[in-house]
Structure 1
Amino acid sequence: MKKLLLCSLLVVSPAHAKGIFTEGDELLLQTSVWTKHYNPEPDHNNHQKMINLEYYFNDEVKFFVNPEQTSWRDDVRWLVGGATFKNSYDQQSTYVYGGGRYDYALGENTKAYAKLTAGLLYGYRGEYKDKIPFNSLGVAPVILPAVGVQHRRVNLELVPFAAAGVMINAGFYFR
């Protein structure tokens, strides 16, 4: 886990310095700080040891926009990401996804947001393979909503994961 965190930081610092990111792009590094299963089982793991990396495109990147009219989609901040974590049954898992985030200004340096991501989840194997839907091939489609608050470069996020539980993540933005 420490090696992954160190590698993430080493990748982030030179990428920004060499101009790989464009003005307005952001990289969010997150970890899980609390998890609760709604119906806990004795073999449930509530310590995910998650490392999540999200890349936010600058405001100029627009998808699903109709140039002839304005709508809420004009304000969506698009993102791609990936996470590695211990799943509910202590198996190393990976979630690779894309999505969007809609911000609500709360102040000059603070905003609340709603986020929706969709992607593929790998890692539920063996006797736990059927614990998530559509996992017959070992990879399952996943849609995760989240709500959060960001103050300057720090964020706190609440992520419900289906009918199984809820997780709180904390993160830091690299700009």
Structure 2
Amino acid sequence: MLTHRMPMSLAAGCALALLLPWRSAIATPSWSDLADFELCPGMSAAMARPAGIGERDVSISTFTHHWTHSDEHKNVRSLNLRQHLDDDRFCGFSLFTNSFGQPSTYLFTGKFWPEPIPGLPRVYASVSAGMLYGYVSRYKNKVPLNVKGFSPAIVPSIGFRITPQLSIEAHVLGTAALMIGADWWY
């Protein structure tokens, strides 16, 4: 079994380098900038609100359909946590086994559209963008722009609310696959 762990200092360095809000193109960040840094702006205010009002969701997925068959493909299993913010934005993370059975993670932010199709209030859509870690060793070329296991990702999704707390979602995983999951909103 192939396993690979992400060095935490490398992950923290990449996150700061990509997400630190610079004051200007030539400014150098100061320690006070780092003290005020929020990985996901608005997250601390959202987390201070009580649970139970549908601003958080956890989802699981155990079904993935790959567009092209390969004997190397494994079924992707995923656990996702998402915090909804003001202005229909969200931030979250996903822990999953990738298409080749490797442990992987996805840290993301995104936009949520509660009713993209007028007259269908239970249908919603979202798109997330973030940093993917996984796809290492012989699978490093299976995702674009992979540098030592890190690569950018964009995931469009569409969902259907069965109840106010339960929904199903379909996630398009680039040109590789479609993943179906269930979400619990709390």
TM-score of the aligned structures, taking structure 2 as reference length: 0.68
Matched, 1:160 2:179: no
Aligned residue in 2 for 1:52: 80
Q: How far, CA to CA, are the matches of 2:152 and 2:129 in structure 1?
A: 7
Matched, 1:123 2:134: yes
Aligned residue in 2 for 1:113: 124
Q: How far, CA to CA, are the matches of 1:163 and 1:32 in structure 2?
A: 18
Aligned residue in 2 for 1:90: 101
Matched, 1:37 2:63: no
Q: How far, CA to CA, are the matches of 1:102 and 1:56 in structure 2?
A: 11
Identity over aligned pairs, percent: 29
- Larger RCO (alpha carbons 8 Å, 6+ apart): 1
Q: How much does 1:142 deviate?
A: 0.3
Say if 1:29 and 1:106 are closer, same or farther in 2 by CA, change over 3 A: farther
Aligned AA (1:170): A
Q: How much does 1:137 deviate?
A: 3.1
In structure 2, runs of 5+ residues without a counterpart are 1-46
For the residue of structure 1 that corresponds to 2:71, the secondary structure is coil
Q: How much does 1:22 deviate?
A: 5.3
Post-superposition Cα deviations, 1:41-90, rounded to whole Å, max 9, x if no partner, equal 001012x2211000012xxx23xxxxxxxxxxxxxx11001000000000
Q: Is the 8 A contact 1:33 1:170 kept in 2?
A: no
In structure 1, runs of 5+ residues without a counterpart are 1-18, 63-76
Q: Is the 8 A contact 1:106 1:112 kept in 2?
A: no
Aligned residue-pair number: 136
Q: Is the 8 A contact 1:36 1:167 kept in 2?
A: yes
Q: How far, CA to CA, are the matches of 2:66 and 2:141 in structure 1?
A: 17
Q: How far, CA to CA, are the matches of 2:105 and 2:119 in structure 1?
A: 33
Aligned AA (1:33): T
Counterpart mapping for 1:96-107 below 5 A: 96-104=107-115
TM-score of the aligned structures, taking structure 1 as reference length: 0.72
